[in-house]
Amino acid sequence: MRTLLAICLIALCLPAQADQRLFYQPLNRDANVTPAQWQQLWRATVAQGGKTLIVQWSAYGDSDFGGAQGWLASSLRQAREQGLELVLGLYMDPAYYQRLEELDGEGLNSYFKAQLGRSLTQYQQLKADWALPVSGWYLPLELDDLHFRDPARRDALYRQLQAFNRQLDKPLHLSSFSAGQLSPRVNGAWLAQLASLGLTVWWQDGAGTARLAPVVRQSYEQALPCQVGIVREAFRQVSQAGQAFRAEPAEPALGGGCHAEAVFALRYRPWAKAVLKLDAL
């Protein structure tokens, strides 16, 4: 009861931001959240202007969070009942970033194709079993300008995503981040090319990880075409290189001009912290 009251009080005290898009990253620990807590959390999210929930994945390695009758699917049905639109994530390989480091050339092309195949299988299972109305699908395989700095690799990715997107019934969302390996102009042109496929392309602003200097991040943001949305990071990373990722909540730098905006992530927002713990998978 105290937790539910805390959520309600926080929601009432914060200024609402209209039509907000929020990322939610499901963690196994969230299985401990009760149905009543989920209901209050989604209600508070809507009260804060939440309109769309972008669920980062619905399967993470061997975990499907209980499948069609599990806690994730049940909580998302409650989110829909509270009025939130859903963009539902597909399959995520826990070793994705490690594999990107290990592979190059045709090996990377083959790996990415295989991961798209896993996401397509997950999409088909979601359609057949979960019975959740969604407004779009999210591909959890984040893109960056380090592993995709080779023009030939970007061309191969374009063809792979084009073929994948044709098999979906709703718009496909994906996100990217900058590692300083492509110039801002080339990076913006690359993301515009992906958006030309009819994809909803997001660029992470990098404020939370702070791997690039603020002036460099700003140059990348300024070079983005208007059709590329911006993900505002609502955290500040406190872990060091080689440590498990840890972060603290921070206010996102909203205000992207012509760009659509989303916030990463719900877990770091004030009205959610009493329910969604800041723990790893």
C-alpha 212, offset from chain centre: 20
Does the pLDDT value for residue 14 go beyond 80?
A: no
**Neighbour-count burial of 51, counting CB atoms closer than 10 A to its CB (0-12 exposed, 13-18 middle, 19+ buried):** middle
Contact 252, 234 (CB under 8 A): yes
Residue whose C-alpha is closest to residue 102's, from 91, 111, 93:
111
Peptide bond into 223 cis (omega under 30): no
For residues 60 and 146, what is the distance between their CA atoms, to the nearest angstrom?
24
Contact 143, 176 (CB under 8 A): yes
pTM: 0.93
pLDDT digits (tens, 9 = 90+) for 198-212: 999 999 999 999 999
In the chain the domains, ranked by start, together with CATH numbers, are 2-268 (3.20.20)
**pLDDT-above-70 percentage for the chain:** 92
pLDDT digits (tens, 9 = 90+) for 158-185: 999 999 999 999 999 999 999 999 999 9
For residues 139 and 144, what is the distance between their CA atoms, to the nearest angstrom?
14
- What is the three-class DSSP state of 140? coil
**Average of per-residue pLDDT values in the chain:** 93
Which token pair is 51? 């309109």
Give the chain's count of helices (H) and strands (E). 8, 13
pLDDT for the residue numbered 281: 46
Which token pair is 182? 């492509």
Task: Give the H/E segment covering residue 189.
Answer: helix 184-195
Q: How far are the Cα atoms of 46, 60, 173 from residue 51, in angstroms, in the given order?
A: 7, 25, 16
Query: CB under 8 Å to 257, separation ≥6 — which residues?
Result: 226
Alpha-carbon torsion, ordered 49, 51, 57, 63, to 10 deg: 70
